[in-house]
Amino acid sequence: MKNTLMTLAVLVLSTAAAVAQMEMPKPGPEHKKLDMFAGSWTLDGEMKPGPMGPGGKVIENETCDWMEGGFFLVCHVDFKGVVGSGTGVTVMGYSAGDKAYSYREFNSWGEFTDSKGSLDGDTWTWSNDEKMGGTPMKGRFIMKVTSPTSYGFSYEMSGDGAKWTMVMDGKATKVK
């Protein structure tokens, strides 16, 4: 019995030592590319008249900070436009398994968006599937980086993934 307890104690201690020596995962270079979005931003956009409303100015203020560990960027958003105002939370990250960026948004209107993203040069493209009035649609949000503190953006929708309609466009400016 004494030998069994001694063996068990050695096993527990050696396992604890091995776990303590394991290196914690670190964010990769793909995560670092999201760093440009960290900070506070103002987005000034123009909603086009169409199925989403009459069109008009849209303003969004967002503050994005890295979650502990550096794998996910969490953004808190306040938005105001012709169809109303609200708040939201977004989480951006990178999935090495999918080799794609992720963008998940939850807002005070009860909406949830789950987008996959890619980066090609200075252009980010976020794509998703959603429903508009019960009809399946595809959406894409394109961000063209023009400097470390600004980017142009557009949001388009398509019923078939081939013909796209501009829903909104504008400019984002980093304020701090």
- For the segment 95-144, what is each residue's pLDDT rounded down to a tens digit? 999 999 999 999 999 999 999 999 999 999 999 998 888 889 999 999 99
- How does the average pLDDT of the chain come out, rounded? 90
7 pLDDT tier (thresholds 50, 70, 90): low
The pLDDT value recorded for residue 72 is 98
Beta strands in 71-111 (DSSP E): 73-81, 84-95, 100-107
Q: Judge contact between 88 and 108, C-beta under 8 A.
A: yes
Structure tokens at 157: 């929708």
**Mean of the pLDDT values across residues 148-162?**
95
Distances (CA, A) of 96 to 26, 29, 74, 141: 12, 11, 19, 21
Among all chains, which residue has been given the structure tokens 């996959």? 116
Please state the domain extents for the chain.
28-174
Among all chains, which residue has been given the structure tokens 């030592």? 17
- For the segment 106-120, what is each residue's pLDDT rounded down to a tens digit? 999 999 999 999 999
Distances (CA, A) of 162 to 36, 43, 96: 30, 27, 28
pLDDT over 60 at 10, yes or no: no
- 28-174 in CATH: which number? 2.40.128.20
Mapped to the 3 state alphabet, what secondary structure does 114-143 carry?
EEEEEEECCEEEEEEEEEECCEEEEEEEEE
